[in-house]
Amino acid sequence: MVDQNNSEKNMASDNESPIVLSVKHVAKSFRLPTEQASGLKQAFLNWTKGIKGYREQQVLKDINFEVHQGDFFGIVGRNGSGKSTLLKIISGIYRPEQGSVSIQGKLVPFIELGVGFNPELTGRENVYLNGALLGFSHNEIDAMYDDIVSFAELEDFMDQKLKNYSSGMQVRLAFSVAIKAQADILVLDEVLAVGDEAFQRKCDTFFKEIQQNPSKTVILVTHDMSSVKKYCNKAILIRDGEIVVSGDKDQVASQYTLDNLKTAAARDMDTGYPVGLNETIPSVKVVPKSPLEAKHGASFLFDVEYECTEDIDHFVVATLYDLTRGGITYDTGSRTYPQQGAGKRTLHFEMPIDMLNSGTYRLYANIRVADQEHPGKTQMIAFANVENCCVFTVNDSEHESYALLNEMAMNMNLLSIETNN
């Protein structure tokens, strides 16, 4: 467990803005029934024998942290760690058994999708109902209404009953009410994946705008470490009801990933195979044959080593991932390298890197077979886990590191300039 008091001092020293949320020594437990008395007599007998009929589950233990105005604050943890319970305490849904929560300003929670919405009411009526439940007056909702509807892109449907909305439309309306509410503190629980791709892009733009607004504060609970790194300026990691990492978002994200790998490793001990492998494909590994600090002017050489124990037709796929900027840089394709039968194999690859800018890259490999239910497609049956991948860097002072591709791979030619006076 971390020294939370020191972490809070460090976080406070980096931010002179006012504290809008203070959580001090918060603890919470729940009673889980173990047996149920069939009647008063049985309940009395259980009492005389000291049988409680329940057990105490300690969900949160001495939680301490502060959030400053303007923070985009992440709360991270595996399922069952207590993070959602903490969010409900912050939102006033649960009361802590110990400790206190102090809030300065208007707090709007978006914790469970659809809570406070009535399917028999119209979209318009639900906006006013949900706004009232969040503590806003009718006049305040009037002022927010146009922004809510515009963001949800439901202008033509607001007078229809909510039960006639698609699930995606309901999500957009509920989310829009939450984020467009004129709140000082916005609390979000696992909601960054709502809506379709276009709506997610709109949400991404909104969050970037919030990042630039020093008067708005966001508290985000998520399992997505890319969102933590992209949006948050601070974060905490909760494990078994305790804060184990506090402050630096990158440190929190790294520790969360490490915790997941340790859990996966423990699971591997039960199955006998590492993550991504099985009885049919007990090993897949990417082995570098070139120096891991690559330079332009030379190709990067690597091998894919694997074993197949069954007499099956299969395909070997290699994938290049950009760790610096994120995203898949290149994939060999699911049917490019067909193989037949059982045995141990080593495939030798050569990859040109002149078109890549400076950065850190990871080479993956996976084994695929034909998908019997979908002709023409394949399905993955094994892959090289992180420990068996290859990570290398491209360092070249002549090329920028901001973009993925350099001018050797692509350039944009100016065709003309038009000036309007």
SS (H, E, C) the chain: CCCHHHHHHHHHHCCCCCEEEEEEEEEEEEEEECCCCCCHHHHHHHHHCCCCCEEEEEEEEEEEEEEECCCEEEEECCCCCCHHHHHHHHCCCCCCCEEEEEECCCEEEECCCCCCCCCCCEHHHHHHHHHHHCCCCHHHHHHHHHHHHHHHCCCCCCCCEHHHCCHHHHHHHHHHHHHHCCCCEEEEECCCCCCCHHHHHHHHHHHHHHHCCCCCEEEEECCCHHHHHHHCCEEEEEECCEEEEEECHHHHHHHHHHHHHHHHHHHHHHHCCCCCCCCCCCEEEEEECCCCEECCCCCEEEEEEEEECCCCEEEEEEEEEECCCCCEEEECCCCCCEEECCEEEEEEEEECCCCECCEEEEEEEEEEEECCCCCCCEEEEEECCHHHCEEEEECCCCCCCCCCECCCCCCCCCCCCCCCC
Confidence of residue 3 (pLDDT cuts 50, 70, 90): very low
What is d(CA 88, CA 284) in angstroms, rounded to the nearest whole number? 44
Question: Could you tell me the CA-to-CA distances from 255 to 57, 76, 88 in Å, in that order?
Answer: 25, 10, 24
What is the radius of gyration, based on Cα positions, of the chain? 27
Signed CA dihedral, 56, 58, 62, 64: sign only = negative
pLDDT of 40 reads: 72
Mean pLDDT of 237-245: 90
Residue 290 CB burial class (10 angstroms; 0-12, 13-18, ≥19) = middle
The answer to whether residues 70 and 216 touch, using CB atoms and an 8 Å cutoff, is: yes
How far does the chain reach from its first CA to its final CA, in angstroms?
65
What is d(CA 258, CA 251) in angstroms, rounded to the nearest whole number? 10
pLDDT of 363 reads: 92
pLDDT of 168 reads: 77
What is d(CA 418, CA 60) in angstroms, rounded to the nearest whole number? 63
pLDDT of 50 reads: 63
pLDDT of 406 reads: 59
- Domain regions of the chain by residue span: 4-105+184-262, 283-394
The answer on pLDDT for 205 being more than 90 is: no
Q: Among 105-109, 127-131, 198-202, 203-207, where is mean pLDDT lowest? A: 198-202
What is d(CA 308, CA 305) in angstroms, rounded to the nearest whole number? 10
Signed CA dihedral, 399, 403, 407, 409: sign only = positive
Mean pLDDT of 142-165: 89
User: Domain 283-394 sits in which CATH superfamily?
Assistant: abc- transporter (atp binding component) like domain (2.70.50.60)
Q: Which residues pair with 234 in a beta bridge?
A: 73
What is d(CA 168, CA 123) in angstroms, rounded to the nearest whole number? 13
The CA-based dihedral angle spanning residues 106, 111, 116, 121, taken in that order and rounded to the nearest 10 degrees: 110
pLDDT of 6 reads: 43
In terms of Cα–Cα distance, which of 146, 147, 189, 196 is closest to 171? 196
Question: What is the model's pTM?
Answer: 0.58
Mean pLDDT of 138-148: 89
Q: 209 is written with which tokens? A: 């705008």
The answer on pLDDT for 2 being more than 60 is: no
Confidence of residue 23 (pLDDT cuts 50, 70, 90): very high
Selection from 87-101, 127-141, 366-380 with the highest mean pLDDT: 87-101
Q: Under CATH, to which class is 4-105+184-262 assigned?
A: alpha beta
pLDDT digit string (tens) for 332-356? 877 778 999 999 999 999 998 888 8
pLDDT of 5 reads: 45
The answer to whether residues 185 and 103 touch, using CB atoms and an 8 Å cutoff, is: yes
